[in-house]
């Protein structure tokens, strides 16, 4: 019987409970979502792209949906910063050989 490799990366983002939370409290509320990729060959462009898509989906679950209108600049800025931080932090945990396959940028 073959053993299956379980690999996962955690998307984590600190979410302050209140907008004026003290710095020590701001780091206390962290949301985590594990993203498995043991079923992927992340050294290939296709496998890497699927992993990035999964990480983005998990990050969106933490950051919320993209604002409906581009006119809400503040909301779009917050959303993009949250997504970028979450995706980049998660992808930094992926083993280095997988990184050659493609971009880790949240929007690309």
Q: Where are the domains of the chain?
A: 8-101
**pLDDT at site 11:** 64
Q: Flag residues of the chain having pLDDT under 50.
A: 1-5, 14-27, 98, 100-102, 105-108
Q: 84 in helix, strand or coil? A: helix
**pLDDT at site 9:** 67
Q: What is the rounded distance in angstroms from the CA atom of residue 107 to the CA atom of residue 30?
A: 23
**pLDDT at site 75:** 93
**pLDDT at site 65:** 86
SS3 content of the chain, % helix, strand, coil (to 5): 45, 15, 45
Contact 83, 91 (CB under 8 A): no
């Amino acid at each position: 019987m073959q053993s299956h490799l379980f690999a996962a990366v955690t998307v984590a983002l600190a979410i302050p409970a209140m907008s004026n939370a003290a710095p020590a409290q701001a780091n206390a509320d962290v949301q985590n979502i594990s993203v498995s990729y043991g079923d992927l060959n992340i050294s290939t462009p296709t496998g890497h792209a699927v992993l990035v898509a999964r990480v983005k989906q998990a990050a969106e679950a933490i950051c919320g949906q993209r604002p409906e209108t581009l006119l809400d600049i503040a909301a779009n800025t917050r959303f993009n910063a949250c997504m970028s931080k979450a995706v980049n932090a998660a992808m930094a945990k992926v083993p280095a050989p997988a990184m050659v396959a493609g971009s880790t940028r949240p929007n690309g």
